[in-house]
Amino acid sequence: MRVTNESLPILLEQVKQATFEMIEFTNISPTLEDYWRSIILFGRNSATYKFALAKSLLELAPSGKSFVTWEELARPFSRHITEHLQQRDKQGSSSSSQFLHSCRAFNRGTLTQQQLIDITVRQGFENVIDAFHVVGSSEIPERFFHGKRRGAKGIDISDRLFQLLEQYQFQNLPHEVEARWRLVETAWQLDLSTHLVDVEYREFNGLLVPETLKMRRKSVTSCRSGLNGYQKGKCFYCFNEISIEEGSLDLADVDHFLPHTLIRVSAIPNINGVWNLVLACQTCNRGERGKFYRVPALHLLKRLHQRNEFLITSLHPLKETLIAQTGRDEAQRRSFLQTHYNEATRLLIHTWQPEFEYPAAF
């Protein structure tokens, strides 16, 4: 994007907003997971290298190595990039990346793996190493590695990354990075962000699916993976830990905040839309005293609005989806939720809230 006198104020406002949302996202009980998710969810993207680096760091962390050479880092980094190029060719906003051209050549079979690794060491980390920890206009307070791209033989892994490895949420983080990556590359593939305005949930396979002429019926990502980071890995209702690992005993349910049963009377538009989907623990959603088909208490509507504003701050397509479904500005979105909450309460009468909540996470 060419910066002009007209576009500069808009860019500055976007940076200001991203910085504000990062602070808002982490100011309640800040954890290492919060800082990591700020990078993945709110950092700016001109290429998908940040996601490849994040997945590589998570992959390398269990080895316990405190220093990783460029070649050691290049192996998973280049693998993640080439795998994504096979699914979506656009992996950056620039069309002239020599590194991406090399990755495409590897996929065509005209470069060997070692040749690609050597090229990755020279070209793949030029900007992403120095920019990884930047959210908005400044670095986050915690670093997961130390080192600069130039004048070093690799990076020093921070104790913070090893501490992250020990957390319950570590199992969810690779899925969240992958989901975020797929959302960003999907938006780039569509070229114009306003094209993707109707991402909806499909219950039978748990996927988020865009409804556009260009990508009809082609899934973007798992709904659980796409939403979990914005809830900090917590149940929306009680803030208990949840998992998005298939087969886990703590596997989160995807729940319609305003109950899905309202679809029978067409009372709520886009009821399968992202705006109305939350992740809940099994106890809250369908336990003995769970929510089932009741409307959540009013204070939980405020929480839904806050969660949706986190999503609005992120890049396309979820941002444009939510704006299209609920309103162009914060006041319109608040009014949208209140109006349909009132209608749901009028029809279903009963409200519900969890008997116990853990300390608030967002």
Could you tell me if residue 173 is inside a domain? no
- CA distance linking residue 24 with residue 22, whole number of Å: 5
pLDDT at 64: 96
Are residues 208 and 308 both part of a single domain?
A: yes
Could you tell me if residue 172 is inside a domain? no
Could you tell me if residue 16 is inside a domain? yes
Are residues 91 and 210 both part of a single domain?
A: no
Could you tell me if residue 298 is inside a domain? yes
- CA distance linking residue 282 with residue 252, whole number of Å: 6
Q: 270: phi > 0 → left, psi -120 to 50 → alpha, else beta; which? A: left
Are residues 341 and 201 both part of a single domain?
A: yes
pLDDT at 213: 38
Are residues 125 and 263 both part of a single domain?
A: no
Are residues 327 and 253 both part of a single domain?
A: yes
- Which residues, at least 6 apart from 307, have a Cβ–Cβ distance to it below 8 Å? 230, 231, 236, 278, 362
Are residues 218 and 333 both part of a single domain?
A: yes
By residue range, what is the domain housing residue 321?
192-352
Are residues 76 and 114 both part of a single domain?
A: yes
pLDDT at 315: 59
Distances (CA, A) of 13 to 10, 43, 141: 5, 15, 22
Could you tell me if residue 359 is inside a domain? no
Are residues 339 and 208 both part of a single domain?
A: yes
pTM tops 0.85, yes or no: no
- CA distance linking residue 33 with residue 232, whole number of Å: 7
Are residues 112 and 198 both part of a single domain?
A: no
pLDDT at 2: 47
pLDDT at 24: 53
Are residues 211 and 141 both part of a single domain?
A: no
Per-residue model confidence as pLDDT tens digits over 319-336: 777 888 899 999 999 999
Per-residue model confidence as pLDDT tens digits over 116-166: 999 999 999 988 999 999 987 788 889 999 987 777 899 999 999 999 999
Secondary structure (3-state) at 280: strand
Are residues 16 and 54 both part of a single domain?
A: yes
Are residues 153 and 65 both part of a single domain?
A: yes
- CA distance linking residue 136 with residue 138, whole number of Å: 6
Q: Are 25 and 43 within 8 A, CB to CB?
A: no
Q: Are 117 and 103 within 8 A, CB to CB?
A: no
Q: Which of 103, 132, 166 is the last residue of a domain?
A: 166
Neighbour-count burial of 218, counting CB atoms closer than 10 A to its CB (0-12 exposed, 13-18 middle, 19+ buried)? exposed
Could you tell me if residue 70 is inside a domain? yes
Could you tell me if residue 186 is inside a domain? no
pLDDT at 192: 38
pLDDT at 321: 79
List of the chain residues with pLDDT < 70: 1-29, 189-221, 315-317
- Host H or E run for residue 134: strand 134-135
Domains contained in the chain, number: 2
By C-alpha distance, which of 327, 314, 230, 232 is closest to 17? 314
Could you tell me if residue 185 is inside a domain? no
- Host H or E run for residue 255: strand 253-256
Handedness of CA 333, 338, 344, 348 (dihedral sign): positive
